[in-house]
C-alpha cells in the first residue's frame, strides 16, 4: 500500500461536527477577522447553556500562524454568551508557560485550552490540570501522555508532508524528471510535528523513487527562513523542487531565492497563509502550491471546550461525548483552486 493510500480517516473541522456554520475568515491583522463558527437554526448545542470558564494559553504572537491561533480563540469565545475566556500569557519559553498555567489551574476554570511551547515539556502541566479535575484541550503540539489531555486537536503534520511530496512527485513525473534534486526547509527540527512532516514528505517521495538531496532547518520565522534558504541554495547550485514547511518562514525563503536570482525550480509551502495564497494566485514566483495547516483549529478547540464543560457531545455524532482525538485534513492549494481557499488564509 502506498503512503498516499494510507492517509487517515479524518473527522475534519471539529466545530463543523458540532453543527455550526462558517461566518468569517482569518487574517494576520490582530483585529477582528477570524475563522469562527456561529450556531445554525435548530442546533441545540448553539443555544446558551451553563456558563463555562475556559482558560487559554498560547505562545506570543510573533508568528502569523500563532497570531491567528490566539485571534481565532478569542473571536470564537466571543460568539458564545455562556463562555468566559481567561487567557494567560505563555511567556518566552516552556518554563514561563508552565508557571502561568499553574496559576490558572489554581483558579479552577471548567476547561483549559493550551497550545504549548513544547508538548513534551508541558506534559506535566497537562497532567496537573487533569488530576485537578480540569479537562485539557491540547492544541497542535502533542503531549506524549494521553492522560495529560481530554481532547487533542491538531493539524495533520504527517499528512502535510504526504501532500507536499505527492504534489512534487506528480509535477516532476509529469515533466519527465527522472533523478530530481529536491530541497527541504523544515521548521524547528526538535519538535515532533516537524519530524512528522519530514517523515510524510520522505514517504511520499519514496513512492516515486525520489529523495531529498539537502535539508536546512529554520525556526518558523522569516529571518531564519532566509538564512536557511541561502545556505540551501549555496549547497545546491541546481534544484528541481523545494518544500518549505511554513509559509511565515517562506517569506524569508522567497527573499533569499529572489536575491540569489534562482528560478529553475518550483516550491511548495506549508500552512496556507494569505500571502502564500496570493503569491500562488499571481503566479509570479517559484511558489506554486502550499499545503494547509489551518489555525481554525483554535476556533474548533473553543467550541469543543465549551461542549466538554457543559457535558455535551457533538450534535452530528451518535456518541454522547466529544471525541478524544481530532486531526484536521491537509489540503493542497494551487493556482487552480486558490480562489476557493483565499478566505481561509491567515
* Residue showing cell 469562527: 36
Q: Is 162 in the same domain as 203? A: yes
Coil, helix or strand for 100? helix
pTM score of the predicted model: 0.80
Instruction: Note the pLDDT tens digit of each residue in 262-313.
Output: 999 999 999 999 999 999 999 999 999 999 998 989 999 999 999 999 999 9
Most confident by average pLDDT, 27-31, 88-92, 176-180? 176-180
- Please tell me the predicted confidence (pLDDT) of residue 43: 66
| H helix or E strand, kind and range, residue 80 | none
CA distances to 90, 111, 157, 167 from 164, in Å: 31, 35, 11, 5
25 has a pLDDT exceeding 50: no
- What tens digit of pLDDT does each residue of 194-216 get? 999 999 999 999 999 999 999 99
Q: What is the domain-level CATH number for residue 102? A: 3.40.50.2300
Contact indicator for 300, 14 with CB cutoff of 8 Å: yes
Q: What is the pLDDT of residue 227?
A: 98
> Does some domain include residue 7?
no
Same domain, 286 and 161: yes
Q: What local confidence, expressed as pLDDT, does residue 134 receive?
A: 98
Buried b (16+ CB within 10 A) or exposed e, 100-139: bbeebbeeebbbbbbbbbbbbbbbebbbbbbeeebbbbbb
User: What would the grid cell of residue 69 be?
Assistant: 491561533
How much of the chain, in percent, has pLDDT values that exceed 90?
79
Mean pLDDT in the chain? 89
Average pLDDT over residues 134-152: 96
Residue 166 domain-assigned (yes or no): yes
Helix residue ranges per DSSP H, 219-295:
222-235, 247-260, 274-282
pLDDT at 188: 94
Q: Please give the share of the chain, as a percent, with pLDDT higher than 70.
A: 87
SS3 of residue 154 by DSSP: strand
Q: How far is CA 134 from the centre of its chain?
A: 25
Whole-angstrom CA distances from 98 to 59, 115, 118, 123 are 11, 12, 11, 10
Sign for the pseudo-dihedral over CA of 60, 66, 67, 72: negative
Is residue 48 one of the residues assigned to a domain? yes
Parallel/antiparallel/unpaired status of strands 266-271 and 287-292: parallel
Distance from CA of residue 225 to its chain's centroid?
Answer: 18
Q: Which domain holds residue 179?
A: 157-292
Q: Are 117 and 54 in a shared domain?
A: yes
Same domain, 113 and 241: no
pLDDT value at 17 more than 70: no
Last residue of a domain, one of 292, 321, 337: 292
The residue-averaged pLDDT of 213-232 equals 97
HSE-up of 175 (CA within 13 Å, CB side)? 15
Quick one: 166 and 119 in the same domain?
Answer: no
Between 57-61, 85-89, 146-150, the lowest mean confidence (pLDDT) is in 57-61
Confidence band (pLDDT; 50, 70, 90) for 8? very low
Task: Mark whether 78 and 97 lie in a shared domain.
Answer: yes
Whether residues 114 and 127 share a domain: the answer is: yes
DSSP-derived secondary structure letter, 40: P
pLDDT tens for 83-133 read 999 999 899 999 999 999 999 999 999 999 999 999 999 999 999 999 999
Let me know whether 60 and 42 are in one domain: yes
Q: Work out the average pLDDT over 42-59.
A: 87
Task: Tell the residue number behind the cell numbers 455535551, with chain if given.
Answer: 312
Stretch 153-178: mean pLDDT, rounded?
97
Total domains, the chain: 2
**Residue 316: predicted pLDDT:** 87
Q: What is the pLDDT of residue 192?
A: 85
Q: What is the pLDDT of residue 335?
A: 97
Amino acid at each position: 500500500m502506498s503512503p498516499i493510500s494510507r492517509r487517515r480517516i479524518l473527522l475534519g473541522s471539529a466545530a463543523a461536527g458540532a453543527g455550526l456554520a462558517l461566518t468569517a475568515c482569518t487574517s494576520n491583522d490582530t483585529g477582528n477577522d477570524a475563522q469562527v463558527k456561529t450556531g445554525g437554526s435548530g442546533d441545540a448545542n448553539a443555544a446558551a447553556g451553563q456558563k463555562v470558564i475556559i482558560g487559554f494559553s498560547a505562545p506570543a504572537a510573533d508568528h502569523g500562524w500563532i497570531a491567528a491561533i490566539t485571534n481565532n480563540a478569542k473571536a470564537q469565545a466571543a460568539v458564545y454568551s455562556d463562555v468566559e475566556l481567561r487567557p494567560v500569557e505563555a511567556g518566552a519559553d516552556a518554563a514561563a508557560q508552565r508557571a502561568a498555567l499553574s496559576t490558572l489551574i489554581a483558579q479552577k476554570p471548567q476547561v483549559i485550552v493550551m497550545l504549548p511551547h513544547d508538548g513534551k515539556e508541558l506534559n506535566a502541566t497537562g497532567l496537573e490540570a487533569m488530576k485537578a479535575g480540569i479537562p485539557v484541550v491540547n492544541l497542535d503540539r502533542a503531549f506524549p501522555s494521553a492522560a495529560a489531555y481530554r481532547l487533542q486537536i491538531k493539524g495533520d503534520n504527517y499528512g502535510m508532508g504526504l501532500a507536499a511530496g505527492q504534489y512534487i512527485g506528480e509535477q516532476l513525473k509529469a515533466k519527465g524528471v527522472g533523478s530530481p534534486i529536491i530541497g527541504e526547509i523544515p521548521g524547528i527540527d526538535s519538535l515532533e510535528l516537524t519530524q512528522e512532516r519530514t517523515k510524510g514528505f520522505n514517504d511520499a517521495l519514496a513512492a516515486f523513487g525520489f529523495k531529498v538531496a539537502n535539508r536546512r532547518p529554520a525556526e518558523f520565522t522569516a529571518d531564519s527562513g532566509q538564512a536557511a534558504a541561502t545556505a540551501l541554495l549555496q549547497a545546491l547550485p541546481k534544484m528541481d523542487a523545494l518544500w518549505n514547511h511554513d509559509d511565515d518562514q517562506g517569506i524569508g525563503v522567497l527573499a533569499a531565492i529572489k536575491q540569489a536570482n534562482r528560478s529553475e525550480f518550483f516550491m511548495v509551502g506549508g500552512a496556507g497563509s494569505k500571502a502564500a495564497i496570493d503569491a500562488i494566485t499571481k503566479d509570479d514566483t517559484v511558489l506554486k502550491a502550499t499545503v494547509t495547516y489551518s489555525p481554525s483549529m483554535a476556533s474548533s478547540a473553543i467550541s469543543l471546550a465549551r461542549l466538554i464543560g457543559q457535558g455535551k457531545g457533538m450534535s452530528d455524532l451518535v456518541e454522547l461525548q466529544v471525541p478524544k482525538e481530532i486531526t484536521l485534513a491537509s489540503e493542497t492549494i494551487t493556482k487552480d483552486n486558490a480562489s476557493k481557499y483565499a478566505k481561509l488564509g491567515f
